[in-house]
Amino acid sequence: MKRSAWFILAIVAAWSSSGCFIFPHPNLNPLASVNSVQPDKQLYNRAMTAMSEGKYTVSRLLLQTLINTYPDSPYLAHAKMAMGDSWYREGGVEGLAQADAQYRDFITFFPTMPEASEAQLKIAKIQYMQIQKPDRDPTHAYRAQRALRNFMLNYPNSPLRNQALELLRKVQEVLATRDYRIAKFYALQGNYRAVQSRLRDVIAHYPLFSKGDRATELLAKSYLITSSRYAAALRLERQQHLINPELAKDLRADAASDRQQAIVFLKFLVERYPVSRPARYARRELLTLHQTVPTPSAEEIAFNRREIQLRKKPTKLQIIAGILHSVPNGTFMRADRIGTPSLTRQTVADVLNQENSREQSSMQLASNATGGVSGQIQLENLSNAGLKPMNNSLTAVEGSDANDPRALPAVQGNILQAQAHNLVTPNQIDRQKQLRLMAAELKANVPDVQALQHKPPSLLAKIF
């Protein structure tokens, strides 16, 4: 009896352990036990081990196997990020290009993960590592700036923000140095309109440029030079008794406009860079022009002094070593350590903070609303019908010029009656077009008075 009882109990225990009792057990995954290892996790660990050992090809093969075999694995996002890291660590032109593509795919498929900001920053670093000196191809610098701006705008709360800010300051230092050197070359050639266009972009797009004070000083000097040239051309016209009313009006307006812009940038130089040496020149020049010298605030003085103190300069050994390398380490060292660089494309008016519409109109600042470059002269659009008249100009569909056989009699009466009906003859329309084109050409091409003095007297009137 005892043996039979023990036999029955053994059968009941075996039956219950097999899950076939009255209350069956759930079917547990054996891979989820403590002592087991899931295959996707095992592949990921092996891939990371191979990457740490420098076996990047083996690491990518393991990661690709994980991605293809286990598309629903919780390690899928980490595997895609690791694919980019393997190419990033391998380096080289091809490796960095592949890493850029992998990081962009990661941001596309996993935009809300915390690693997305890291992927965006590494995209910027890939371009940053390929930046060349300011006098060489700026493609990678522009790409790095765009990637860093996207990082700052899309991930404002990322813990990597300070690192991105430092990189963006260095990148913009390279781009600003490039435009500043081009402007200095144009200044040596005497092409002051090109100087002004470049330097306006430097002031608008790179407010933390280490040589921003010198750039502003050169910009103000260029406007003073062009203003004096317009005034000298006007005096030459009067001396040679070739008084052209339209030309004299344009010369006088351009001289006044450039003088006003020089005053504005001289004041900006005193306010933005109060501790720098060019600010002393700006103060003296403003007094010479009988203008009030602005008083910078305590915050502006402290910021300018702080950025100068934190700015580093390369040593002589580093300068000599930099000649043999294409990486602009010396330019990177001169970049500011404080301040927030510009994250969007802005105009000179945005930098100068001109809220007064009168001051804006006196400066005649070019707007970027139509996609034009700041400082560029905007000409009127041409259509099939010719040059479109300005908004404040007279328009007409009928002609009343008796000397034009194609003109139609518009109004019976005297000239005052025709003017009262705002009717303009075709000859007058052509004249208005010529005057507008002359004014635009005179604005774009500053007259070289020294060259004109050795030419026939009528040449100035013929050119303009």
What pLDDT is stored for residue 324 in this prediction? 78
Q: What angle, 0 to 180 degrees and rounded to 10, lies between the N-to-C axes of helices 426-444 and 245-272?
A: 40
* Distance separating alpha carbons of residues 405 and 457, to the nearest angstrom: 36
For every residue of 228-249, which 3-state class applies, written as one string?
A: HHHHHHHHHHHHCCCCCHHHHH
Tell me the pTM: 0.74
Below-70 pLDDT ranges, the chain: 1-37, 240-243, 353-424, 449-464
What pLDDT is stored for residue 345 in this prediction? 79
Instruction: For residue 387, give the DSSP letter.
Output: E
Instruction: For residue 297, give the DSSP letter.
Output: -
* Distance separating alpha carbons of residues 269 and 279, to the nearest angstrom: 6
Cβ neighbours for 26, distance < 8 A, ≥ 6 positions apart? none
CB atoms within 10 A of CB 98: 18
What pLDDT is stored for residue 13 in this prediction? 58
What pLDDT is stored for residue 314 in this prediction? 82
Per the prediction, the chain carries an average pLDDT of 79
Residue 387, strand partner residues:
382
